Amino acid sequence: MTLYLPSRLPNVGTTIFTVMSRLAAEHGAINLSQGFPDFSPSPRLLERVTHHMAAGANQYPPMAGVASLREAIAEKVARLYLANYDPETEVTVTAGATQAIYTAIAACVRPGDEVIVFAPVYDSYVPGIELNGGHAVHAHLRFPEFKPDWDEVRALITPRTRMIIINSPHNPSGSVWSAADMAMLETLVRDTKIVVVSDEVYEHVVFDQQDGGSLRHESVTRYPGLRERSFVVSSFGKTYHVTGWKVAYCLAPRALMGEFRKAHQFIVFTVHHPAQLALADFMREHPEFADTLASFYQAKRDFFRQQLEGSRFVLLPCAGTYFQLATYAAISDEPDTSFVQRLTKQHGVAAIPVSAFNPDGDDQRVIRFCFAKNEATLAAAGERLRAL
């Protein structure tokens, strides 16, 4: 007898990142699809992990994370954003950013609640909402700038709106929200019971100049009216080139964090002990590392864009993250999913179709490349892409 189990996620298949990485491996393609570096982290960071494993840090750490790492996180946030979080009650180390976001949803969203997300939307948000009985409501980032339409957002807020999830710098578009955007969000949620989840995993990867000054990351922690109602998520994997370690963190005011930890302890309980200690050591020894990340990745972005000069791809602006969007209308009129499959199989470069981030599969013939790669990798990919 075959047991029939009604699906909790009937419209969800295997994530597009897994599909495209598998296809790249099968065809020996250059993998510019999934967002991970093809270079190693700092040797010092690796040495610190080995040190702590040898020193005996191989059993459960505290549920909320080791104290030294939570303290280092609080110090970093205070230095960058002038926001004070108590490491004992308002900082929690998580098993990656996806777990942190899911846990915030699980702690807050009840059956029938509405959660506003912005499309193109990262693929883990909506399943997390649905698994907890909520309903995702989609606002749309305007193409091609991928900026929010605040009139639309205002119209979508109802008495059932429990949460708004935001993501800046934005994956997949590389857009960065402005201070004006944050001020608008702060105004819209004032005098409501709406909770905000702010996905800030690319907080250190913001590029370029704007109006004669540096374009900065507008963390919700900078805005008191948002900070008091927000879960803020960031990622050590994205910052320190260790995506496979799956270590991230969440910040929230004490009352919200109390609810977060109730769920956290039963979803994952705790996180890899020696990695936490190593990250704490490295943050204290090299606080400048995160500060230099933007210039490091801007150089890679510029190098990759140079590799596509003379190609028939049209590159969209990229103000942050390590992703570059490109339209391919001059090459083909086929759907983006078909195009990236053919690009992988026939031309040896894997990318992500942006329609996978849209709830209705809206296809604007745009694909996403990851440029967190060595220059040799990017040059080889550029040679193949220019040949189309």
Pick from 3-7, 15-19, 175-179, 249-253: least confident: 3-7
pLDDT of residue 333: 96
What is the distance between the alpha carbons of residues 20 and 137, in angstroms, rounded to a whole number?
Answer: 27
Region 287-315: mean pLDDT is 96
**pLDDT of 212 over the 80 cut:** no
pLDDT of residue 363: 94
pLDDT-derived band at 215, boundaries 50, 70, 90: confident
> pTM for this structure?
0.96
Cβ neighbour number for residue 93 with a 10 Å cutoff: 27
How do residues 251-283 score in pLDDT, each as one tens digit?
A: 999 999 999 999 999 999 999 999 999 999 999
pLDDT of residue 376: 98
pLDDT-derived band at 213, boundaries 50, 70, 90: low
**pLDDT of 33 over the 50 cut:** yes
pLDDT of residue 5: 86
What is the distance between the alpha carbons of residues 320 and 216, in angstroms, rounded to a whole number?
Answer: 10
Short-list 70, 65, 66, CA closest to 87: 70
**pLDDT of 166 over the 60 cut:** yes
In the chain, the largest separation of any two C-alpha atoms, in whole Å, equals 69
How do residues 328-383 score in pLDDT, each as one tens digit?
A: 999 999 999 999 999 999 999 999 999 999 988 899 999 999 999 999 999 999 99
pLDDT-derived band at 320, boundaries 50, 70, 90: very high
The three-state secondary structure class of 239 is helix
Region 274-293: mean pLDDT is 96
**pLDDT of 44 over the 80 cut:** yes
Q: Report all structural domains of the chain as residue ranges with CATH numbers, in order of start.
A: 16-41+291-386 (3.90.1150.10), 44-289 (3.40.640.10)
Rg (CA), the chain: 21
The three-state secondary structure class of 336 is helix
Which bin fits 65, alpha (ψ -120 to 50), beta or left (φ > 0)?
left
Region 131-135: mean pLDDT is 98
How do residues 67-81 score in pLDDT, each as one tens digit?
A: 999 999 999 999 999
What is the distance between the alpha carbons of residues 137 and 243, in angstroms, rounded to a whole number?
Answer: 29
What's the helix, strand, coil split of the chain in %, to 5? Answer: 45, 15, 40
pLDDT of residue 214: 61
What is the distance between the alpha carbons of residues 34 and 301, in angstroms, rounded to a whole number?
Answer: 16
Strand partners, 249: 93, 234
Residue 316 φ then ψ, to 5°: -85, 160
Average pLDDT value for the chain:
96
